[in-house]
């Protein structure tokens, strides 16, 4: 099973205090012709230039945390991404942890490819 289409609204900063942000975001994912709506509120802490940490504080997820670490290695940057989430709402049948994991990996790969393309390395 694959997610066929994502309708993801831009995230909105609803509060900012120094290196801390509160973001809201919502969207829909289509599994075939069936839409599944979601939303979340997350608190984000930026530790420039090495770490971004966000924690779910509301919305469709009961809990969640994402940590992105950035490490300079010569003329490249190594990006480490860790995400854990617990759904707080019903998830359509057939959407397993493996399906969600593969979708996230696909999206991260697409973002990586786009960054490389923009840098002109390919």
Listed residue (85, 95, 97, 90) closest to 32, CA to CA = 95
Q: What whole-number distance in Å separates Cα of residue 121 and Cα of residue 116?
A: 6
pLDDT of residue 100: 73
**Alpha helix (H) residue ranges in 42-122:** 97-119
pLDDT of residue 2: 57
Whole-structure pTM value = 0.74
List the chain residues with pLDDT less than 70: 1-5, 89-96, 121-122
Give 74's contacts (C-beta < 8 A, 6+ positions apart).
Answer: none
pLDDT of residue 44: 95
Token pair 């393309």 is at which residue?
117
């Amino acid at each position: 099973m694959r997610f066929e289409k994502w309708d993801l609204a831009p995230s909105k900063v609803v509060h900012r205090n120094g290196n801390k942000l509160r973001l809201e975001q919502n969207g829909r994912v289509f599994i075939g012709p069936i839409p599944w709506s979601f939303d979340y509120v997350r608190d984000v802490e930026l530790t420039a230039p090495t770490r971004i940490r966000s924690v779910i504080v509301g919305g469709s997820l009961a809990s969640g945390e994402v940590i992105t670490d950035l490490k300079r290695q010569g003329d490249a940057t190594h990006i480490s991404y860790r995400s854990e989430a617990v759904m707080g709402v019903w998830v359509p049948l057939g959407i397993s942890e493996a399906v969600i994991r593969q979708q996230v990996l696909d999206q991260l790969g697409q973002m990586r490819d786009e960054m490389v393309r923009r840098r002109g390395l390919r």
